[in-house]
A and B are shown apart, each in its own frame.
Chain A
Amino acid sequence: MRKVILKAAALALIVSLLACAFAGCGKKDATKDEEGRTIVSVGNWPAKSNPQYESMNERKTRFEKANPDVSIRPDEWTWDRKTFYAKAAGGQLPIVYQTGFTEMPEIISSEYSADISEVLSKHGFDGMLNEDILEVISKDGKVYALPNSTYVLGLAFNTELMKSAGLMEADGTPKQPKDWNEVADFAVKIKKATGKPGIVFPSSGNYGGWMFMPVAWSFGVDFMEKDKDGKWQATFDTKEAVKALQYIKDLKWKYDVLPSTTLIDGTEYNKTFATGNAGMMIAAGDVPTKVFQYGMKPDHIGMMAMPAGPKRHVTLLGGGVYCINANATEDQIDAALRWLETAISFETTEEFKTNTKNYLDQCVETNQLVGVKGMSMWSDKAESQAWSNKLVDDMANSNINHVRLYNEFVADCPADIQPEEPVCAQELYAVIDSLIQEVLTNKDADCAKLLKKANADFQSNYLDNLTY
């Protein structure tokens, strides 16, 4: 009897395994539901515990009512470099997914993002997007994504620590360090007055390399260039790069203004700043979203302009984009764009206004700083940015002077706005991370020697292996 039961169980398991294996082999059209509506799965959907969950569901209901031919399917998967390519190869990506500017060259070359040029034209986007941003999301004249946020890097500061160091005006406006030497002076003053590190600089998880970019550019460093044969060459074995790296080294060994740990990834970086353990850090305009979870009050966060370097005044352009799965049908691409337009619009439609307002309401509710303005991703023809900026001003939940210098910097940027390096950006960041770790742990590190090796390693390990 026992044997019979075992056999029956084994057979049932085999049948269910085979059923799983052949599931989805049917000929039913997976892009339409039973009512013939086009299915659009949307990634980055907030989890039930997320404060944005309710407003997203309301947005979905309103959208489906206004667009009865579309069915939105929430997908909580959030873009992650580690899982993206496996999901893409397995055909498991949602139709709409969010990623960052840095990833675009690789996603485009991997052919996992649909060409949406035509549908953007059809929806009136021609001439509406900022040209610099359009360049980041395009290849050979075709557009592969729709930006949803753009930022430039600036200098974030802790208002309490700055105040203690006498670096704030009475109205809450910070004193602006004009160059990197002044940043070091400010950091020394903060440390002297409060005992806390004056500045935090990351060194791990590719964050160090990312933050080092604008510093190095401002010292006159070019990291790579394309030669006449179309091959990329690493070009940062230069005296300018040595000076930039020496500056980071000096923050540790000459000025002694950095935290004691030298292994700081993105999480640790934000946490160090948010918990009041650093006076300043280089950050993007989305810094409030990164620090509120550690309990940093809106009134304690400030932002100001990026300082200039000895050769250039430059900042890094970054941001987020929405891509549409390359396997999407024409109907799905069109429906996906209609969905995206409810939150990303150059026109101030009622739906756009509602969703933007809902988002800011949630920020205020969760005690996130409202007041920092993003860089416009639109051309001058778009009307929505001015409306959003006014709403941010109206809903600001902190002294607006804390972020005024950054907002002015973004609105009329006196610095060059430079996108990330065009190829192998993440690999370059990892190489730079190692350099930063070395100069922060070894007082006798020879910057010139380190850069010479890093330049050669980056060339031979990455650029020479590049196939696009």
Chain B
Amino acid sequence: MKINKDTDVAKRMRARNSARLRNNIDAWILMLPMVIILYLFVWRPTVLGGVWSFFNMRAYTVLDFCGLDNYIKVLSHTQFLPMLWNTVQYVLWSLIVGFLPPLFIAIMLNEIIHFKSGFRVLIYIPAVIPGIAAMLMWYFMYYPDQTGLLNMLLGKLGIKSFGWLNNPDFTILGIIIYMTWKGFAGTMLLYYASLQSVSVEVYEAALIDGAGPFKRLWHVTRPAMEGLLLLNLVRQIISVFQIMEQPLAMTGGGPNGASTSLSYQLYQYGFNSGGKGTGQAMALGVIIFLILIVFTIFYFKLNKKVEDRY
């Protein structure tokens, strides 16, 4: 009798294991295409890029192990520090110029009563213009003679033409202004969605307690948005730190390297060095990755703190 009982238990366990295995196989079959694609297009190139940064390369052919040679060449490049500083400037200007406007516009949009969806569409238009077209448009707006739109406006006001992107002191800020114009709508929609999730009752309670608009913003809106703001802050730092297309299309990294970022230099190593700089491109990619990983760890730590508060 006992033997039969044991056999039943064993049978049930076998059936359960087999069902779990079948489920696992099902799950793997469903996941496998994505895993293969991720392996081929994300994980493998990322890992290989890291590995190849320690090798001498002839164009994309791996030659021999060279230790830290590629890293030394990148770090001892006479323009490395200026390029790093340019990249930091891009990030700083993007935070000064571009971080808060989407939030303010989202708050304003949230407060508007009439034509809300119309404004939403109008505000979102820059985000749907193709990148290169928008860059060219701004390139011509910034054109340094009287045919440039901005100089035309200055001319109407009796002010002398300005060099805009031709001015090394302005070029990074000019590119950031364009990027803010192009990118703020997407972020604004995120903030707007988050604002709409704030309970109306909380605002009403604050109103009854005599809180003015700024107090409501600080004590009701801010806590509700803090997590998202933090997330966007770090995302913005990470994304602007990798800026490449904008200086490539608008200034060619100039004038005299004033808008050359680290990622732009990586592109030059990888695609514009006649195959001589591929190893350095990999090494610079790893260096950028390491810098950004510090921000990412910082983000996760801060994010945890914010989440713990609620």
Contacts and interface: CB of A to CB of B under 8 A. Distances in A.
A259 B161 CA distance: 14
Contact of B168 (A11, A17, A433, A441): A441
B255 A261 contact: no
A85 interface: yes
Nearest to B60: A89
B256 A461 contact: no
A441 B166 CA distance: 7
A17 B60 contact: no
A457 B255 contact: no
Contacts of A10: 29-30, 32-33
B14 interface: no
Contacts of A14: 29, 32-33, 36
Nearest to A3: B26
B271 A81 contact: yes
A204 B78 CA distance: 20
Contact of B166 (A89, A109, A262, A466): A262
A460 B78 contact: yes
B160 interface: no
A427 B273 contact: yes
A244 interface: no
A17 B29 contact: no
A86 B33 contact: no
Contact of A441 (B61, B77, B167, B268): B167
Contacts of A54: none
A17 B36 contact: yes
Contact of B255 (A82, A110, A441, A466): A441
A157 B77 CA distance: 40
A86 B29 contact: no
Contacts of B168: 441-442
B34 to A, nearest CB: 9
B76 A460 contact: yes
B36 A263 contact: no
A31 interface: no
Nearest to B77: A461
A89 to B, nearest CB: 3
B254 interface: yes
Interface residues of A, number: 51
B272 A438 contact: no
A106 interface: yes
Contacts of B252: 204-205, 263, 265, 433
Contacts of A440: 255
A437 B254 contact: yes
Interface stretch (B180-188, B206-214, B274-282): B274-282
Contact of B145 (A81, A259, A457): A259
A461 B82 CA distance: 14
A85 B78 contact: no
B227 interface: no
A331 interface: no
A110 B59 contact: yes
A461 B168 CA distance: 23
A7 B274 contact: no
A465 B77 CA distance: 11
Interface in B128-147: 143-145
Contacts of B58: 109-111
* Interface of chain B: mostly helix, strand, loop or mixed: loop
Contact of A261 (B26, B61, B76, B145): B145
B251 interface: yes
A344 to B, nearest CB: 25
B144 A261 contact: yes
Contacts of B144: 260-262
A13 B145 contact: no
A386 to B, nearest CB: 36
Nearest to B260: A434
A441 B29 contact: no
Contacts of A90: 60
A456 interface: yes
A110 B275 contact: yes
Contacts of B110: none
B145 A426 contact: no
Interface in B31-80: 32-33, 36-37, 56, 58-61, 73, 76-79
A86 B60 contact: yes
Chain A CB count within 10 A is highest, among B59, B78, B256, for B256
A203 interface: yes
A265 B78 CA distance: 24
Contact of A263 (B29, B59, B254, B257): B254
B178 to A, nearest CB: 15
Interface string A442-465: 100000000001001100110001
Given A81-B272, A81-B274, A7 B30 contact: yes
B256 to A, nearest CB: 4
24 contacts: A7-B29, A7-B30, A14-B33, A14-B36, A81-B271, A81-B274, A85-B60, A88-B60, A89-B60, A106-B275, A204-B254, A260-B161, A262-B144, A265-B252, A424-B276, A426-B274, A427-B273, A434-B256, A437-B255, A437-B256, A438-B255, A440-B255, A457-B79, A465-B73
Closest 7 CB pairs of A and B: A89-B60, A260-B145, A85-B59, A106-B274, A437-B255, A82-B271, A13-B33
Interface of A: 3, 6-7, 10-11, 13-14, 17, 81-83, 85-86, 88-90, 103, 106, 109-112, 203-205, 259-263, 265, 424, 426-427, 430, 433-435, 437-438, 440-442, 453, 456-457, 460-461, 465-467
Given A106-B276, A441-B168, A441-B255, 4 more contacts: A10-B33, A81-B271, A85-B271, A433-B254
